[in-house]
């Protein structure tokens, strides 16, 4: 809804009854709140629709119980194996229906899937093994705490966060609060070595090529070992850059602060020799 910028299940039910879809899809690439899969199941049953959830972004949080599990409610669940699941790039299609599973298998291979990549399969096995460990649950809890620290500090600096905060690993900054587009913000943070991406916000007046938002997430930096203190600093760096877009001194200061963070939390902390640069 426009008021809460969260899913309005009553409105979804009304639309489903109006259009009678054969398939309802829930799961999003920039939704920062908990998804109620049970309510989606009720709506799907009311209109006789299949229900599919895409949990590409939240799969790791689902695996550790930090987000509700869609499998008891959905006919099909899809996900990637990266993002919060923290594995290599890949995908999964899951179902509890054996007959539907046969149809999915037949549709995917050999029609659209190529040969298996053994090294990626090995990487997935490692990621799934990690996801079974108690440390992974701690990691996912830290992912959420860090995202909330980042979101909260950006709000302190005057930025509007879509839906007022986050329950998961990501947030969506509504840049209309500072009179800037997502395209401008994306370029500005990239210039100081922060990777983000422009993103539409709910009821966005801008085109998808411009947007009014910036999507930020916490998993990668959490994996490097950063905590809430560092994420508050990251928020301040982003705010300093976006609130002073024409100030080169501020930009250089942001670059130095980012370098300090990266040096303090190296990608390969256990190596005794430096990693050679790629030429």
Tens of pLDDT, residue by residue over 1-18, are 999 999 999 999 999 999
Q: How far apart are CA 147 and CA 11, in angstroms?
A: 29
pLDDT of residue 278: 58
pLDDT of residue 109: 82
- In this prediction the pTM is 0.92
pLDDT of residue 274: 60
Helix (H, G, I), strand (E, B) or coil at 256: helix
Q: How far apart are CA 34 and CA 170, in angstroms?
A: 12
* Max CA distance (Å), the chain: 64
pLDDT of residue 277: 60
Q: How far apart are CA 222 and CA 231, in angstroms?
A: 9
pLDDT of residue 237: 98
Q: How far apart are CA 61 and CA 136, in angstroms?
A: 10
Query: Residue 253 pLDDT > 80, yes or no?
Result: yes
Nearest to 26 by CA among 58, 4, 3: 58
Average pLDDT for 147-156: 98
Kindly indicate the confidence band of residue 270, based on its pLDDT and cuts at 50, 70 and 90.
Answer: confident
Query: Residue 269 pLDDT > 90, yes or no?
Result: no
**C-beta atoms surrounding 161 within 10 Å:** 21
pLDDT of residue 160: 98
8 CB burial (10 A radius; 0-12, 13-18, 19+):
middle
Q: What are the pLDDT digits (tens) for 20-77? A: 999 999 999 999 999 999 999 999 999 999 999 999 999 999 999 999 999 999 999 9
Q: How far apart are CA 157 and CA 23, in angstroms?
A: 42
Q: How far apart are CA 160 and CA 60, in angstroms?
A: 27
In residues, how long is the chain? Answer: 279
Backbone angles phi, psi at 197, to 5 degrees: -150, 145
Structure tokens that stand for 123 in this block: 């990487």
68 CB burial (10 A radius; 0-12, 13-18, 19+):
middle
Query: Residue 94 pLDDT > 80, yes or no?
Result: yes
Task: Count CA atoms within 13 Å of residue 164 on its CB side.
Answer: 5
Cα angle value 125/65/132 (rounded, 5°) = 25
pLDDT of residue 271: 65
Q: How far apart are CA 18 and CA 30, in angstroms?
A: 26
Average pLDDT for 175-194: 98
Nearest to 40 by CA among 58, 54, 57, 25: 25
């Amino acid at each position: 809804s426009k008021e809460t910028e969260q899913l309005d299940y009553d409105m979804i039910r009304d639309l489903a009854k109006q259009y009678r879809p054969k398939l309802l899809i829930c799961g999003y690439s920039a939704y920062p709140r908990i998804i109620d899969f049970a309510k989606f199941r009720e709506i799907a049953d009311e209109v006789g629709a299949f229900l599919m959830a895409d949990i590409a972004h939240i799969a790791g949080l689902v695996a550790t119980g930090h987000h509700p599990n869609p499998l008891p409610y959905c006919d099909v669940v899809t996900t990637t194996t990266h993002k919060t699941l923290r594995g290599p790039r890949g995908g999964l299609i899951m179902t509890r229906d054996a007959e539907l599973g046969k149809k999915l298998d037949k549709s995917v291979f050999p029609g659209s899937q190529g040969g298996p990549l053994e090294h990626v399969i090995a990487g997935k096995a490692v990621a799934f093994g990690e996801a079974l460990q108690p440390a992974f649950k701690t990691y996912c809890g830290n992912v959420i705490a860090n995202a909330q620290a980042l979101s909260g500090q950006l709000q302190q600096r005057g930025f509007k966060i879509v839906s007022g905060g986050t329950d998961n690993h990501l947030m969506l900054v509504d840049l209309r609060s500072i009179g800037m587009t997502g395209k401008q913000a994306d370029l500005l943070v990239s210039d100081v070595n922060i990777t983000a991406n422009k993103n539409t916000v709910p009821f966005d007046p801008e085109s998808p090529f411009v947007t009014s938002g910036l999507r930020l997430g916490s998993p990668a930096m959490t994996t490097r070992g950063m905590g809430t203190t560092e994420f508050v600093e990251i928020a301040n760096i982003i705010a300093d850059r976006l609130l002073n877009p024409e100030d080169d001194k501020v930009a250089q200061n942001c670059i130095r602060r980012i370098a300090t963070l990266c040096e303090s939390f190296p990608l390969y902390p256990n190596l005794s020799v430096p990693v050679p640069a790629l030429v």
